[in-house]
Amino acid sequence: MAKRGGFPGGGMPGNMANLMKQAQRMQRQMEEQQKELEAKEFTAAAGGGAVEVTVSGKKEVLKVKLAEEVVDPEDIEMLEDLIVAAANEAIRKVDEETGAAMSKLTGGLGGGMPGIF
């Protein structure tokens, strides 16, 4: 007579149960790590520190700080470029830390979870 489930013993094998527990624990750790990252702030500068941009772990711009000497009404384009450069660098820092955190959790097994990071 065939056993139910297709596995010897009729139930979920021990290895599968352990794997499910590990996956659930990893998911909780990822959620905690995501909350921690979202609470952090990342700051980057451009133009030798003339422009500074701070973003959250959610990649939202929180603050832009400009040195007085960089505000030149005759050269708005340079100021715009410096703001973009600083913002992109700050966002790169968020991505870098997110990737490092995920790598620790997954032990280097592939990238982040789609839709999470």
State pLDDT tens for residues 63-117: 999 999 999 999 999 999 999 999 999 999 999 998 888 888 777 555 555 554 4
DSSP string, 44-76: EEETTTTEEEEEETTS-EEEEEE-GGG--TT-H
Q: Which two tokens stand for residue 23?
A: 């996956």
Distance between CA atoms of residues 64 and 86, nearest Å: 9
State pLDDT tens for residues 4-23: 555 555 555 678 888 888 88
